[in-house]
Structure 1
Amino acid sequence: MKLLRYGAAGAEKPGLLDSEGKIRDLSGVVGDIAGDTLLPDGLAKLRAIDQATLPLVEGDPRLGPCVAGTGKFICIGLNYSDHAAETGATVPPEPIIFMKATSAIVGPNDAIEIPRGSEKTDWEVELGVVIGKTAKYVSEDEAMDHVAGYCVINDVSERAFQIERHGQWTKGKSADTFGPTGPWLVTADEVEDPQKLAMWLEVNGHRYQNGSTATMVYGVRYLVSYLSQFMSLRPGDIISTGTPPGVGLGLKPPTFLKAGDVVTLGIEGLGTQRQVCVQG
């Protein structure tokens, strides 16, 4: 299934994308794409519905973040060896973990706000993993049972805030609008192998990132198990798994976003995003 949330920001309704690419309303079935809806039994209940019986959503509504109630937005740094090389870093012996504030989460096509004082706002297409069942001290063999599905994420980053102002990375990752998420939550049963997905990102029509999840250093199975050793992962939590090469920081000369730029990105089978940059 392709689950989604549509409507005005803060007032989104749950929905799904049917086999014809039309939005169907789920608000008569579930309260939101969150919590118990993401549990295996909750997803099974949705799969059993005849989609043709659900109300059709007319027009072209705004799409919100594809999951609600996210308690933790966990990111993995330098998880593609070729991206690490372009930024002058080495692949870490264990995953680099940092948090992105959940207040950064926005819809897939909402504007990116360039923060005040920013000169180095950057882009990163990433595979998002949405947790569906609480994971605590799970093995790699058990890990995938705890994944509800996958989505596209743009891990927008302000490099000067992240790197040059000392301390941890979080302050360069957490500005409002720095977490476009969606358009859909594609349930795990529809993704044959999350480690074989093509991914890309363009700015103003120029393709900067053209990679694949096949080159991840630490894959989805490992990451879910690894993270669960340090914290419980709960329904709606998001793991953003790192980016392939082609970010602005790694270009010669480095290139960063400015107001008016248009960012488009996507992952095979998971949909696309489009954001216009505005001054915050």
Structure 2
Amino acid sequence: MASAHQQGMRYYRLPGGEHSEGSGSLVVVDDGDAYDLSTASDDLGSFTQLARAANACDESIDSIARDRISDSESVAFDDDDVLLPVTADEVWAAGVTYQISEQAREAESGKPEVYIDVYDSERPELFLKATPSRTVGPNEAIGIRGDSTWDVPEPELGVVLHREEVVGYTIGNDVSSRAIEGENPLYLPQAKVYDRCCSVGPCVATADVVDDPHDLEMALSIERDGEVVFEDSTSTNEMATTCENLVSYLRRHNNLPETVVLLTGTALVPPESFTLTEGDQVTIDIDKIGQLVNDTIVV
């Protein structure tokens, strides 16, 4: 994972940190150098706290972090140690935002017209994906439903919102039961929302890093017993809508909590013959953000 050596500021959570809010400490990696912001202030122990400080001062998150780096302890940065970078009060997700996703959901469903109508509509499909207790971070196990026979990862660009404003981007895995959803579209919540159904990480990258969220290379690799059993790549420029449009619809008549992650849909869909099994390793790469790695477990 090369994210720590890319230019710009990215925000991670690492183990430890007695000054932090909850477990772990907020670390900013700036051009390869890592600093524990929670050592500069007890009020900078999490990404949400940093966003609050930026909001209170009417400054950008990067500006607040840059001002406090000189007061922060330098730390050794190890990609393998990173934790869930931001605790979102809610994780939401969008569906059929890429043509291949629309085609895949047509194929799995006995009611394909439902997905055709959404793909061609201005109003996107949005659904509540996960709560904090159902969300895992990098290097933790994502869940496969024990009552499902067809399960897939869904690599997605995540938009991070604080008080309904976009403050950064991350990677999400919208793990899904295609068997349950395909049986009936009304079973979508059961196909999507369950223990360990979502992973987020490895960091939050701000707009100074991700200047155009619709021009990012995204790749998926799945290993089983040390061998790659699926890999593919795409670009977010294939998205049929925009992040701005998805955020706009999420805000409508919806009083969002303080911190939200919105997953923007997938264009990397394994073939119908593929299903996840316990012990698989799923790796998602998104340009300028980094790499999210998770093993799998049956829940």
2:90 corresponding residue in structure 1:
72
Aligned CA distance change for structure 1 residues 12 and 92 (closer, same or farther; 3 Å)? farther
The percent of aligned pairs where both chains have the same amino acid is 29
**In 2, Cα distance between equivalents of 1:233 and 1:195:** 24
**In 1, Cα distance between equivalents of 2:236 and 2:31:** 26
**In 2, Cα distance between equivalents of 1:269 and 1:168:** 35
Alignment of 1:83-232 (within 5 A): 83-88=101-106, 89-90=115-116, 91-93=119-121, 94-102=123-131, 103-132=133-162, 134-135=163-164, 146-164=165-183, 167-204=186-223, 205-232=228-255
Please tell me whether the aligned partners of residues 148 and 177 of structure 2 are also in contact (alpha carbons under 8 angstroms): yes
String of CA shifts for 1:96-145, please: whole Å, max 9, x gaps.
0111121221112211232322322211110000013x23xxxxxxxxxx
- Which stretch of the first structure deviates more once superposed, 176-185 or 156-165? 156-165
Q: Once superposed, which parts of structure 1, at least 4 consecutive aligned residues long, lie more than 6 Å away?
A: none
**In 1, Cα distance between equivalents of 2:208 and 2:76:** 25
Q: Which one of the candidate residues 260, 264, 268 is aligned to 1:241? A: 264
Letter in 2 for 1:247: V
In the TM superposition, what is the alpha-carbon distance from 1:209 to its structure 2 partner?
Answer: 3.4
**In 2, Cα distance between equivalents of 1:269 and 1:51:** 25
Please tell me whether the aligned partners of residues 76 and 239 of structure 1 are also in contact (alpha carbons under 8 angstroms): yes
Please tell me whether the aligned partners of residues 150 and 270 of structure 1 are also in contact (alpha carbons under 8 angstroms): yes
Please tell me whether the aligned partners of residues 200 and 207 of structure 1 are also in contact (alpha carbons under 8 angstroms): no
Please tell me whether the aligned partners of residues 109 and 180 of structure 1 are also in contact (alpha carbons under 8 angstroms): no
2:30 corresponding residue in structure 1:
18
**In 1, Cα distance between equivalents of 2:184 and 2:136:** 25
2:90 maps to 1:82: no
Letter in 2 for 1:74: W
Letter in 1 for 2:167: A
Considering fraction of residues, name the structure with more strand: 2
Letter in 1 for 2:141: A
**In 1, Cα distance between equivalents of 2:54 and 2:72:** 21
String of CA shifts for 1:26-68, please: whole Å, max 9, x gaps.
2223021115156353613113233695331466663221112
Considering fraction of residues, name the structure with more helix: 2
String of CA shifts for 1:132-179, please: whole Å, max 9, x gaps.
3x23xxxxxxxxxx2100001111112223332663422211222221
Scaled by the length of structure 2, the TM-score of the pair is: 0.79
2:202 counterpart SS class? coil
2:241 counterpart SS class? coil
String of CA shifts for 1:241-276, please: whole Å, max 9, x gaps.
0000x423xx1x431100121111111011001112
2:12 corresponding residue in structure 1:
4
Q: Per chain length, whose mean CA-contact separation is higher, i.e. which structure has more relative contact order (CA < 8 Å, sep 6+)?
A: 1
**How big is the alpha-carbon RMSD for the aligned residues of Structure 1 and Structure 2?**
2.3
Please tell me whether the aligned partners of residues 37 and 68 of structure 2 are also in contact (alpha carbons under 8 angstroms): no
Structure 1 gap ranges (5+): 136-145
Letter in 1 for 2:244: R
In the TM superposition, what is the alpha-carbon distance from 1:180 to its structure 2 partner?
Answer: 1.1
